Structure 1
């Protein structure tokens, strides 16, 4: 029996020119369809019973360390009064909870407003339940621009950009084509290629024309550019902090990644069965941080720091949270905290796979840069 989202896809494909839709449109519907999209459904997505873990779920140390960084960032605002943290895509609100708890006893808390920008109704409900005790300290909005251009802000995202729908390109017979999704006579979704028509992709096509062999696939995240440009233009002064998995251009694109980085996550396992059950698995692609830095510069953002999450957390003082203990219980508070720290910073955990990019606009960031570059 055809699933509801498959019916939506087939209907759209049947009315599309050439009987196919760009992969970016397929991914948009698979993740964000108002009723059947993966992120819109009321089902566990994170943690033990979900499909993946995020850094805040490993333990509250992630939020504790970031709270200290936020205090340093606040000093860059030179005591200008009210300020805001604007978090995009806050999941179940766990990171916001950790940050607010970490800042609660500091001098910067009283002047802070925490703004959540979340398109999923299910996620907003979970956030409101988790964060209810903070009352009016938190606000939800779909239009953060008035906040961004009125007070100094720190814009936060953790695993946001990897969930933006992407274009997928494939090189065939010496030419780059765009991957589309069609519906065949065996009642299956499948891939076809079509000529590239989106002007936003032409720059990449020219750049890669000669260097990559036929059959190579890759992704272009134009939605990330649109999002970052909107944030940068709206931001009067402050920082943009991005946590995500990915890397530099040479790490995420090229002949050594012949199938690109697109994949699904389901029950903590990665797979590439993109069309088996749309809406039932997360779909994601690695973030190209060179793109973010280049786009940010054009939009007025200056790169303060980029590197692996492990180096960021160590520079920010996470190792000071390690505690010596002799409790044989592996589930004691000290043992669990030490284990969380190791998972966040070691290469076999999240330390190397996740990267951190900090960009700034209209603020002095010498103190922050000195802290993060110490020991390099």
Structure 2
């Protein structure tokens, strides 16, 4: 059964002959057999569909290593880091190497947990970290929770929340409709509208949402909310570092956001129609920054910082990695790291969010 066949089967068998965008994304991205993240092909870098900061240069991971070490010592936390949604593990090795270089005694006490749902990615990470006894890999947060119980330490994610499935809502003539996925008479995937009566969505909008303008489409991240609540109830003390792209309530209300933010990335091209290429392209949304803050505050997390990634990295020592050299070869390691420092220092697409309990 192909992923398209599976989607069509669920649509036909559903009560309304339509499934939510949340379900469409769950199948397209996370289906164990055919989902995008489960498939055995490279997602990041030149040969993939998008770039991530850890894949640009290891200096990103090295700066974050110092951030984590300093935070754990300052807050008197257990020397434990959990990386959620580690992908192909680009972040891990240079992060561990820098922690060892920066504070060897701390490194010797450190435990580094990886939570990654993709078997393909877990295998890559296992091969990369086979020489590190401190690294332990789990397929889900639930599996990790069963292993270590109540948690103290650091939780880190890079471009994780933007890949969580979402419900899609649109205002039409004063009423809210859920945008769902159905089929045309010729069995092509298409959007269909259903009057929104789901209390989970309506309650979320009332508690964490913002003013929805006439004709505006928004994404309701119930999955992200449940994930944060799960983490919050598990964490006794610590910090959550989230790196992702998102908008504030004020930015969501701008006319440019009228059609929402759900998009696809395929071979480094932005795809406006999320129904194209199911299972073969990444799907992503901008997160609601103010909603994330409010959800955290409801679970005793203090909003410490929300800063553009470039400024955050500079504030935390990125420029310490600039190399003074007389190299003439533009492809030398020194030139490469200086180009990476320059690029990362100007990266304002992402925010670094720090929440503390």
User: Under TM normalisation by the shorter chain, which class is it?
Assistant: over 0.9
The one of 352, 355, 361 equivalent to 2:351 is 355
In structure 2, distance between residues paired with 1:22 and 1:199? 15
Change over 3 Å in CA distance of 1:74–1:176 after alignment to 2: same
- Identify if the C-alpha distance between structure 1 residues 230 and 29 changes in structure 2 by more than 3 Å, giving closer, same or farther: same
Superposition TM-score, scaled by structure 1 size: 0.89
Unaligned runs of 5+ in 1: 362-376
Counterpart in the other structure of 1:139: 136
Residues 327 and 151 of structure 1, relative CA distance in 2, 3 Å threshold:
same
In structure 2, how many angstroms separate the alpha carbons of the residues matched to 1:17 and 1:232? 35
1:154-233 equivalences under 5 Å are 154-203=154-203, 212-214=213-215, 216-233=216-233
Cα pair distance change 1:206/1:289, threshold 3 Å: closer
Does the aligned pair in 2 maintain the 1:31–1:282 contact within 8 Å? yes
Secondary structure of the corresponding residue to residue 107 of structure 2: coil
Question: Partner of 1:45 in structure 2?
Answer: 43
Structure 2 CA distance for aligned equivalents of residues 18 and 298 of structure 1 = 35
Greater alpha carbon shift after TM alignment, 327-336 vs 153-162: 327-336
- Count of matched residue positions in the alignment of Structure 1 and Structure 2: 351
CA distance in 2, matches of 1:261, 1:148: 36
Query: Residue in 1 aligned with 2:110?
Result: 112
Following superposition, the deviation at residue 211 of structure 1 comes to 5.3
* Distance in 1 separating the partners of 2:187 and 2:151: 53
TM-score, length-scaled by structure 2: 0.93
1:94–1:130 contact (8 Å) kept in structure 2 = no
After TM superposition, give the deviation of residue 140 of structure 1 in Å.
1.6
Residues 5-46 of structure 1: CA deviation (Å, up to 9, x unaligned): 110011100111121011111111110111111001000101
Deviations 1:250-287 (A, max 9, x none): 22455331111111001111111322220010000011
2: CA distance between counterparts of 1:268 and 1:330?
A: 25
Aligned positions of 1:9-28 closer than 5 A: 9-28=7-26
What residue is the counterpart of 2:92 in the other structure? 96
Alignment of 1:1-376 (within 5 A): 4-78=2-76, 82-105=78-101, 106=103, 107-134=105-132, 136-141=133-138, 142=140, 143-146=143-146, 149-150=149-150, 152-203=152-203, 212-214=213-215, 216-346=216-346, 351-361=347-357
Structure 2 unmatched ranges of 5 or more: none
How far apart, CA to CA, are the structure 2 residues paired with 1:218 and 1:126? 36
SS of the residue corresponding to residue 106 of structure 2 reads coil
Secondary structure of 2:155's match? strand
**Is contact 2:169–2:177 with CA below 8 Å preserved after alignment?**
yes
**Structure 1 211/66 Cα, relative in aligned 2: closer, same or farther at 3 Å?**
closer
Quote the Cα distance in structure 1 between the aligned partners of 2:230 and 2:205.
Answer: 25
Aligned equivalents of 1:209 and 1:93: distance in 2?
36
